[in-house]
Amino acid sequence: MSFHLHKFPLMSKSRKLHQLITEQETKQTSTAGIGEAEGEERVPGGDEIEEVHSQISLPNFPGGSETFEMAAKFCYGVKVDLNSSTVAPLRCAGEFLEMTEEYSEDNLISKTERFLSQYVLKSLKGSIKALKSCEKVMPLAETLGIVQRCIDSFASRASSADPASFGWPVSDEANDNRATSNQALWNGIESAVGRKGAVSASIAATSVGRGTNADSWLEPLSLLSLPLFQQLILAMRARDPSPDIIESCLIYYAKKYIPGISRLNRKPFSSSSIASESEHREILETIISNLPRERSSKSSTTTRFLFGLLRTANILNASESCRSALEKKIGSQLEHATLDELLIPSYSKLDENLYDVDCLERILIYCLDGLEERNASGIEAEEDGDHNVISSCLILVGKLIDGYLAEIASDANLKPDRFYNLAIVLPEQARLFHDGLYRAVDIYIKAHPWISQAEKEKICRVMDCQKLTLEACTHAAQNERLPLRAVVQVLFFEQLQLRHAIAGKLIAANATPQNSARPSVLRREQEGVEEGTIPAVAAGAGEAEESRSPWRTAVRANQVLRLDMDSMRTRVHQLEKECSTMKKVIQKIDKEGPRGWGSSLTRRFGCKIKTQVCDSHGQTVVNGRKGRDHDHQQ
C-alpha cells in the first residue's frame, strides 16, 4: 500500500525516515531525470512546485499498513486512539522508525511506554489484549520485552486474585446463560462501578455478572496462540496460584479449540483434516500437561471436563504419558463423578468390549492409592472427621463402581475375568451392603448363559452373603440363575439373619429392671444365643430360671434352625449326586435306544427320588397328617 505524505512532519518525528528521505533527495539531485517508481509505502518529498517526489520503501514494517497509518497520524499531530490492542504495535512501530525522545520531545516511544505501564499492565484484561496484539509484531515485541511484561503482569495479578470474585470456574451453565441474555450481562458489568447509588438491582443480573466478569478476560485469553498461551500458563504456575485459576484458563481454552469436549454444549465442527487433528492433539497434550495435580474446589465441574478430555484423548490417540496423567487426575476426585461419565466407549480395534473397562480399572486404582496416601499422610489428621471423610469418599466410589458393573454386565463381549477383577478391586469397607454387587452379578449371569458352572461360581464369589439385605437374600434364594452352592450360602446366612433378628427382639422384650441390674448375666446369655448354646446359670436360681424360660425357647429354636440347615446342606449334596447319576443313565439310554427306557427309569429313580425329597421334613409331614386325622376323628 502507498501513502502520499509530506516529508517535514515525518522527518520531524522519525530519525529513520529523516535519513531515508535525505538519502533519496541526495540521489535525486545527483541524478537528474529519475522517474517515479512504485513501492509499498511512498513518502513524497521535495518542492511541490517543482513536482519532485521521493519514494521510500519500508519492507517488513511491524504491524503492516494499519500500524504505519497510525504512526503517520501521530507525526502529523493527529490524536491517536491508544488502547490495549494498539499500544504494542505502535510501540514496535516507534522502535522501527526510531521515534525516540532524544530525537523529538514527547515522541511515540515515550507515549506508548507510558500508556503501557500506567494503564494497560494494570489490569488483567488489558494485559491479555496487549499480549494478543503482540502476535502480529513478533519477534520485535519479544525483543523489546513487551511479551514478557504482559505475561508477568497477568500472572502476578491472577495469582493474587480470589477465584470466587471472578466466578471461577466457568461452567457450561454460565456459558448457556450468557448466550441467551448477552445484552443483560454486559449491561450488568458496565453499571457495576456506578451501582452504589442505585435503588434496586436485579438479583439474576448480579449472579450472572460474576461469571461474566471472568469471561470478559477469559475470552481474549482463549484467542492467544498456543505458544503464548503456554508461556502464560507456565508463568502462572511458577507463582503458585490457586489451582482453580489455572484450571479455569485451561478449561476455557480447551472448550474453545477442542471439538466435542463438552457433552452439554456441543457445537458442530467441520470434518477435520490430518493437520487439524495434529493441532488438536497438540492443544490437548498442552492442556493436560499443565493441569494442576491438586484437587479442585469445584470437583464436579472439573471432573466432567476431565472425562471429556479423556474421551478426546482416546479419539486423537494422545500419548500414553498424557493419558496416564489425565487418569491420575480423574482418580484423585473420582467420588464426584457420575455413572454416565464413567461409561467411556472403547475405541480400540483390538478390544471387543463396548466400554473401556481397563481404563476405569486404572482410574479406580489411582483413586484408591490417593485415598491411602491421604489417610497415611494425615493432611487432615487435625480434624476429627478426617477418617469419616475418607470413608464417605470410599463408600461413594463403591456405589459408583457397583452401578458401573451393573451397566457393563449386559455386554456380551465382557469376559468373566474382567468382570471379576474389576469387582474385587475395591476394599471390604467400600461396600456397606452387597445388594448393588448382587444385582450386577445377576445381570451378568443372565446376559452370559453360556459360561461354565465354575465361572458362575467364581463370579458369585465376589459377593459376601453376610452383607446382603433380607430383600436381596429372598430374591437370591429364589434365583434359578445362580449356582446351587451360592443359593445354599444365601439360605444359610438368611437363617442367621433371622436368628439374630429373633434374638434381638427377645432381648428387647425381656429387658426388665431386674435384668438391667445384672448386665453380666445378660451379656453371658446374649453370647450364648449367638453361639447357639444354652448359657450356664449358677445353682440355686430356680426362680430366675423360670423367668428366663423365653431364653431357653429361643435357644432351642436356634438349635432347630441349625439342624435344619445341616440337613439342608446334606440334602443338597445328595441332590447333586442324584442329578449326576440321572445324567449318566439318560446318556446310556440314549445310546441303547428308546425301548425299555420307561420301566428302567422308574425302577431306578421313581420311588427313590420321591421318598428322598421328603426325607428332610418327613417327620414334620407325618406328624401334620396324624394331627389332621386326629382332628377329623374328633
The Cα 431–Cα 429 span in angstroms is: 5
At 628, the amino acid letter reads: R
The Cα 135–Cα 153 span in angstroms is: 17
Under 8 Å between Cβ of 538 and 516: no
User: Is it the case that residue 280 has pLDDT exceeding 60?
Assistant: yes
User: Is it the case that residue 182 has pLDDT exceeding 50?
Assistant: no
Choose the most confident range, by mean pLDDT, from 10-19, 407-416, 493-502.
Answer: 407-416
The Cα 21–Cα 58 span in angstroms is: 12
* DSSP letter for each residue of 133-168: HGGGGTTHHHHTTHHHHHHHHHHHHHHTS-GGGGTP
Place of cell 472439573: 302
Q: Distance from first CA to last CA of the chain, Å, rounded?
A: 126
Lowest average pLDDT, out of 97-106, 136-145, 238-247, 292-301, goes to 292-301
Higher-pLDDT residue of 341 and 175 is: 341
Choose the most confident range, by mean pLDDT, from 129-133, 201-205, 291-295, 611-615.
Answer: 129-133
Q: Residue 241: name the closest of 318, 323, 305, 159 by CA.
A: 159
The Cα 70–Cα 473 span in angstroms is: 83
pLDDT at residue number 215: 61
The Cα 386–Cα 500 span in angstroms is: 33
Higher-pLDDT residue of 382 and 423 is: 423
Return the SS3 of 393.
Answer: helix
In the structure, what pLDDT confidence band is assigned to residue 164 with cuts at 50, 70 and 90? Answer: low
Give 59's contacts (C-beta < 8 A, 6+ positions apart). 40
Return the SS3 of 355.
Answer: strand
Under 8 Å between Cβ of 351 and 414: no
DSSP 481: T
> Is the pTM of the predicted complex or chain greater than 0.75?
no
The number of CA neighbours under 13 Å toward the Cβ of 49 is 0
Higher-pLDDT residue of 401 and 507 is: 401
pLDDT at residue number 173: 43
The Cα 495–Cα 502 span in angstroms is: 10
Mean pLDDT for all residues in the chain: 75
The backbone torsions φ and ψ at residue 355, rounded to the nearest 5 degrees and listed phi first, read: -120, 155
The backbone torsions φ and ψ at residue 345, rounded to the nearest 5 degrees and listed phi first, read: -65, 150
Region 72-81: mean pLDDT is 90
DSSP 504: H
The CA-based diameter of the chain, rounded to the nearest angstrom, is 151
- Burial grade of 539 (CB within 10 A; 0-12, 13-18, 19 or more): exposed
Q: What is the pLDDT of residues 92-151, one digit of tens each?
A: 999 999 999 898 888 999 999 999 999 999 988 899 999 999 999 999 999 999 999 999
pLDDT at residue number 248: 87
CB under 8 Å, gap of 24 or more: what pairs does 382-388 form? none
Residue 25, C-alpha cell as written in the block: 533527495
Residue 620, C-alpha cell as written in the block: 414334620
Q: Where are the alpha helices (DSSP H) in 483-541?
A: 484-509, 513-516, 519-531
At 61, the amino acid letter reads: F
The Cα 618–Cα 615 span in angstroms is: 5
pLDDT at residue number 357: 94
The percentage of the chain sitting over the pLDDT mark of 90, rounded to a whole number, equals 34
Region 440-453: mean pLDDT is 93
User: Is it the case that residue 258 has pLDDT exceeding 80?
Assistant: yes
pLDDT at residue number 52: 56
pLDDT at residue number 33: 52
Higher-pLDDT residue of 212 and 155 is: 155
Higher-pLDDT residue of 211 and 565 is: 565
Region 337-366: mean pLDDT is 91
The Cα 240–Cα 236 span in angstroms is: 7
Choose the most confident range, by mean pLDDT, from 128-137, 389-398, 622-631.
Answer: 128-137
In the structure, what pLDDT confidence band is assigned to residue 224 with cuts at 50, 70 and 90? Answer: very high
Higher-pLDDT residue of 291 and 174 is: 291
Residue 612, C-alpha cell as written in the block: 428322598
pLDDT at residue number 505: 66
The Cα 136–Cα 89 span in angstroms is: 8
Higher-pLDDT residue of 24 and 290 is: 290
Lowest average pLDDT, out of 197-206, 441-450, 564-573, goes to 197-206
User: Is it the case that residue 404 has pLDDT exceeding 50?
Assistant: yes
The percentage of the chain sitting over the pLDDT mark of 70, rounded to a whole number, equals 67
- Burial grade of 476 (CB within 10 A; 0-12, 13-18, 19 or more): buried
- How many C-beta atoms lie closer than 10 Å to residue 571's C-beta? 16
- Burial string for 322-361 (b: 16+ CB within 10 Å, else e) reads bbebbbbbbbbbbbbbeeebbebebeeeeeebbbbbebbe
SS3 sequence of 221-290: HHCCCHHHHHHHHHHHHHCCCCHHHHHHHHHHHHHHHCCCCCCCCCCCCCCCCHHHHHHHHHHHHHHHHC
Find the Cα–Cα–Cα–Cα dihedral 532, 537, 543, 544, rounded to 10°.
-60
In the structure, what pLDDT confidence band is assigned to residue 552 with cuts at 50, 70 and 90? Answer: low
Q: What is the pLDDT of residues 27-49, one digit of tens each?
A: 777 765 544 444 444 444 444 44
